[in-house]
Copies of this chain bind each other. A is one copy, B any other.
Amino acid sequence: MVMLGIDPGFAFAGFGILKKEQNKAFLLDHGYLRLPPSKSLVERTGLFYEFFNQKIQVHQVDHLSLETPFLGKNAQNFLKLGYLRGILYLLASQHKLELHEFAPRQVKLALTGFGGASKEQVAHVIMRLFPNLTAPEKSDVTDALAVTLCGVWQHNNIMSKLRI
C-alpha cells in the first residue's frame, strides 16, 4: 500500500508518500511543490496536475489522503483550494486511488492527542516519528506528512478489523 498525503495550496503544496509493508512504513518521498506566482491560475493548475500525476505513477501510489477544508476569512482562497482538490479528485479517479479524508481536528488529535494542537506541535511529533527526516523547511511538509500518516493508520484499522 502506497499512501500519498497532500496539503494543497497555490503557493506551496506539501506532500508525503509512505509505503506500508507488513508492519513497517517507509517514507518514499516528501517535499513541496512551489507554483510560480508569475504564472496564471490556469497554468498553475496544469503544473499541479502534472506534478502529482507523475508522483503517483513513479511511486505506484494507490491511496490518497487529504484534509477537509474549512471556509476561512477569504472566500476566494477557499474557492481556489477547491480547484486543487478538484484536480486531486480527478487524479484519484484516473488512477483509481482510494480516498481518505480527515477534518483538521482529527489529524491533530491523531498525531498529538489534542485536536487543538498548533502546527509546531504537529511538526514536533512528525520529526520524532521520522528521526531520519531533515527538518522540512515548511510546515506544509509536516502537515502533509501528518495527513499521510492518518491515512495509513485509518487503512491499518480497516485492515485489522477485516482480519477479525
A45 touches B86 (CB 8 A): yes
* CB of A70, distance to nearest CB on chain B (Å): 8
Interface string of A26-55 (1 = CB under 8 A from B): 000000000000000111011101000000
Q: List, in ascending order, chain B residues with CB within 8 A of A89's CB.
A: 41-42, 45-46, 83
Say yes or no for A75: interface residue by CB 8 A criterion: yes
**A78, B80: Cβ atoms under 8 Å?**
no
Interface residues on A, range: 20 to 34
Q: Which of A62-89 contact B (CB under 8 A)?
A: 69, 71, 75, 78-87, 89
Within the assembled complex, what's the spacing in Å between the Cα atoms of A90 and B86?
Answer: 10
Chain B nearest CB, measured from A33 CB (Å): 15
Bound CA–CA A81/B75 (angstroms):
13
Q: Bound state CA distance, A8 and B43, in angstroms?
A: 20
Query: Which residues of the partner chain B approach A99 to less than 8 Å between Cβ atoms?
Result: 42
Residues of chain B within 8 A of A81, CB atoms compared: 79, 82
